[in-house]
Amino acid sequence: MKTIDVKVCACTTCVMNGSMFLANSIEGLSKVKAKLGIDADITVEMCKGIGPDNHSDVAPVASVNGEVIEKAKSEIVMEKIVDLSK
């Protein structure tokens, strides 16, 4: 089974721009992955230092298997996870 590693930035700017909501949405995806046909383990980690040093203009920032996503929205990140799981 594949593992998909998702990291969501937890710096102050990202948190103020929705990174906590983003992380919660992705964790919710793990609960319904069988219904969506996702055959992968999804790990979600909150951390700092994703993307450029000063990323206030592109917050929130996340990464999926190392690919940085700026201005990350749950729909974009979840779509990436579904694509990688196939």
Instruction: From 78, 82, 84, select the one nearest 8 (Cα to Cα).
Output: 78
> If you average pLDDT over residues 63-86, what whole number do you get?
93
Break the chain into its structural domains and give their ranges: 2-85
pLDDT band at 4 (very low <50, low <70, confident <90, very high): very high
The residue with greater pLDDT, 39 or 68, is 68
Buried b / exposed e along 25-55 (16+ C-beta atoms within 10 A): bbeebbeebeeeebebebebeeeeebbeeeb
- What pLDDT is recorded for position 35? 80
* pLDDT at residue 32 tops 90: no
What's this model's pTM, rounded to 2 decimal places? 0.90
* pLDDT at residue 86 tops 90: no
CATH 3.40.50.2300 fits 2-85, yes or no: no
